[in-house]
Amino acid sequence: MIRIRPHRLFNLVETPSYEERLVKIVLPDQRAPILLDTAVLLSLAKLVQPNAYFEFGTYLGVQLLNIIANLAPSARAYTLDLDEKSAGKAEQHENDRPLTLEHLQSQDKLAFRHSSYESQITRLFGNSNTFDFSPFARRMDSFRMLSDNHKGCIAWHDYGNRIYPHLKTYLDELSETRDIFFVEESMVAFYLQNDGHLSAALKR
């Protein structure tokens, strides 16, 4: 795992003016994502400029709203979460179950519902362990979905979160064969595809 200080990533986002560094973020409340993690994702979005974004775990939709509000209007986002049926069958960590229940109870209150970004978002329902991802193959930024000819990025959340030690073990193993970066003080780890220039700059 390649550990980097947050400013190493932020400094790679070069803009001609501070105005072009402005981003739009939902002011956090007690259930919103951590601001540093959001800043990391938005920096990656500025560097990669994805036209398609896939999120595993919608929860209350706040992070998706943060992302889509800062992508081009032509960008499309897909977000997958459990529905009542798949949630009933899913094996979950005891800490995850309350989040799923909150998600299920918030269907009409998801952050992006009735927002001006809703038309850019497609909701998907099911268990990520059994979901059919084939329509997204090579169009997105998870290893099987990564596009061949466009810059791409996979970001994982909860790296270093003691509640999920297996995630750290998994990513540490994966990082033996690929360049995976962990942004210190955040819980975000990421991989960049088709962008040797950025990866090399981060490793310097």
Ligand X SMILES: C[S@@+](CC[C@H](N)C(=O)[O-])C[C@H]1O[C@@H](n2cnc3c(N)ncnc32)[C@H](O)[C@@H]1O
Which residues would be at the binding site for ligand X (CB under 6 A)? 33, 55, 57-60, 62-63, 80-82, 90, 92, 96, 99-100, 103, 127-129
User: Given phi > 0 = left and psi -120 to 50 = alpha, else beta, which region is 155?
Assistant: beta
Residue nearest to ligand X (CB): 57
CB contact at 8 A, 58 and 81: yes
Least distance (Å) between residue 15 CB and ligand X = 26
**Number of helical (H) and strand (E) elements in the chain, helices listed first:** 7, 7
Cα 109 to its chain centre, rounded Å, is 20
User: For ligand X, which is the closer residue by CB, 183 or 198?
Assistant: 183
CB of 122 to ligand X, least distance (A): 15
Would you say 46 or 103 has its CB closer to ligand X?
A: 103
Output 80 or 198, the one with its CB closest to ligand X.
80
CB of 51 to ligand X, least distance (A): 20
DSSP state of 67: H
Q: For CA atoms 164, 71, 114, 22, give the dihedral sign.
A: positive
Question: Of the two residues 79 and 193, which places its CB atom closer to ligand X in the complex?
Answer: 79
State the greatest distance between any 2 C-alpha atoms of the chain, in Å, as a whole number.
51
Min. distance of Cβ 60 from ligand X in angstroms?
Answer: 6
